[in-house]
Amino acid sequence: MTDLSPAIAITPPDLFRHTGLTELQALRLFKAAIRDNDSLVDTIVEKVYAAMKSFDRERAYDAVELIVDRDEAAASRLRSLLEEMQKGI
């Protein structure tokens, strides 16, 4: 099963409270809505990539290269970079 826990919290806990969805269900719905909209995907990828390069250009390039190559280490490297960005290390 795919790990759906985000490296960076993207959904406030109360965002879908009125719908009765759990946070995991809300995240899955959010993910599906993004996947269905190429413009949103492009915007998110561009902004995240720009932020990654500003934070650590070399690691950003490394992470992208691993993702493009479909390397098994890609997810953990990207997650680590995003976590450090979130913490401001």
Give the global pTM: 0.70
Taking only the tens place, the pLDDT of each residue in 35-62 is: 999 999 999 999 999 999 999 999 999 9
The rounded distance, in Å, linking the Cα atoms of 28 and 55 is 28
CB 1 within 8 A of CB 13: no
Residue ranges of alpha helices (H) inside the chain are 23-35, 38-68, 74-87
The rounded distance, in Å, linking the Cα atoms of 60 and 53 is 5
Residue ranges of domains in the chain: 1-36, 37-89
> Residue 3 above 70 pLDDT?
no
**More confidently predicted of 1 and 21:** 21
pLDDT of residue 2: 45
Taking only the tens place, the pLDDT of each residue in 66-89 is: 999 999 999 999 999 999 999 987
* Tokens encoding 32: 């599906």
pLDDT of residue 1: 40
The rounded distance, in Å, linking the Cα atoms of 40 and 56 is 24
pLDDT of residue 35: 94
